[in-house]
């Protein structure tokens, strides 16, 4: 008798979780629940969010099956950078399933044009373009309930003094906040490294992003700290995180070098995650990275890596 796809995913989830999930430690607070049904798997302490397709060897390509597998493995969030590009029906289908199983969707990409000089300019055509984008983001938020929208302010202008560019970015962000804030959507600015991946971008560091958010001075303008990018740009991860904490609303993660799962590079993710946890962070940590092995075994290794790094002392 043929099993349904749902039965297959359920069995794969249960079998994978029993093998992959490491014992959770925190004295008497938690117990090792890695035996039995997927409902008994200990959720991760933090809301690590796999991207759709990260576990395609276990869960296939269907987004609903991916949500089911990730939930059964202990994850309580997911993210989709391309959520806005999907048909509205698919957006709603994903959001409804995420809500049904009690998970959360991380930030979607609202504006990230790496080759365009935009936010740094004070021109009407740029303002009109940004206003239209913000309105699209509000509509996506209304359909999906995803409350963070990622913004990359674009390239810097070699012909304009950086201080004038900073002032223009601040003014343009205030205008954007006027559009998204009444709806309840928060913009999260992502500084990206210019040494390896994105040369020529205006926003590249946490202190820089922090100063801009303070100048914009709106609750709807915050930072998404990409730990991979900031390890390359400036290091000093935990002190910078702590100094900018009041303006950070979300995280991306990935190890360096390689931009794969934690434990494959130089970042001590157990300490980084512990620091985030100790701030009582309730948001999402998007797993914006690859796998060191794009195989079924590689996916198992990834889950073990997160179990290991999530197993910090409280």
**Contact, 46 vs 285, CB < 8 A?**
yes
Read off the CATH number of the domain in which 262 is found. 3.20.20.150
The structural domain count of the chain equals 1
Q: Structural domain of residue 303, as residue ranges?
A: 5-310
**Cα–Cα–Cα angle for 141, 143, 144, rounded to 5 degrees:** 65
Catalytic residues: 190, 288
Read off the pLDDT of each residue in 6-15 and give the average, rounded to a whole number. Answer: 48
Read off the pLDDT of each residue in 200-209 and give the average, rounded to a whole number. Answer: 98
Residue 127, H or E segment: helix 124-144
Residue 70, H or E segment: helix 63-72
**Contact, 157 vs 117, CB < 8 A?**
yes
Q: How confident is the model at residue 36 (pLDDT cuts 50, 70, 90)?
A: very low
> Helix, strand or coil for residue 297?
helix
Of 25-34, 50-59, 78-87, least confident by mean pLDDT is 25-34
User: What tokens were used for 225?
Assistant: 């700290």
Percent of the chain with pLDDT over 70: 87
Give the other-Cβ count within 10 Å of 41's Cβ: 24
pTM passes above 0.85: yes
| Cα 32 → chain centroid | 27
């Amino acid at each position: 008798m043929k099993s349904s796809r749902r039965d297959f995913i359920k069995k794969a989830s249960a079998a994978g979780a029993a093998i992959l999930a490491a014992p959770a430690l925190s004295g008497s607070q938690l117990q090792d629940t890695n035996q039995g049904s997927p409902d008994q798997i200990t959720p991760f302490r933090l809301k690590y969010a796999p991207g759709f397709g990260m576990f395609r060897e276990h869960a296939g390509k269907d987004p609903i099956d991916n949500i089911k597998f990730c939930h059964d493995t202990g994850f309580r969030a997911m993210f989709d950078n391309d959520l806005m590009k999907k048909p509205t029906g698919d957006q709603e289908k994903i959001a409804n399933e995420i809500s049904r199983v009690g998970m959360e969707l991380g930030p979607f990409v609202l504006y990230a044009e790496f080759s365009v000089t935009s936010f740094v300019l004070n021109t009407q055509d740029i303002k009109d373009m940004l206003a239209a984008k913000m309105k699209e983001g509000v509509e996506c938020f209304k359909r999906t309930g995803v409350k963070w929208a990622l913004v990359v302010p674009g390239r810097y202008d070699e012909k304009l003094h950086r201080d004038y560019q900073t002032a223009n970015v601040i003014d343009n962000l205030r205008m954007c906040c006027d559009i998204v804030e009444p709806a309840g959507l928060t913009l999260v600015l992502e500084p990206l490294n210019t040494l390896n991946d994105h040369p020529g971008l205006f926003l590249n560091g946490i202190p820089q992003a922090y100063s801009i958010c303070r100048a914009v001075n709106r609750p709807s303008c915050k930072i998404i700290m990409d730990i991979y990018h900031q390890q390359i740009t400036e290091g000093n991860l935990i002190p910078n995180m702590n100094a900018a904490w009041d303006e950070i609303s979300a995280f991306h993660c990935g190890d360096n070098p390689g931009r794969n799962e934690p434990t494959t590079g130089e970042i001590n993710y157990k300490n980084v995650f512990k620091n985030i946890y100790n701030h009582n962070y309730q948001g999402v940590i998007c797993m914006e990275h690859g796998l060191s092995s794009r195989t079924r075994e590689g996916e198992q290794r990834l889950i073990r890596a997160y179990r290991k790094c999530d197993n910090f002392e409280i």
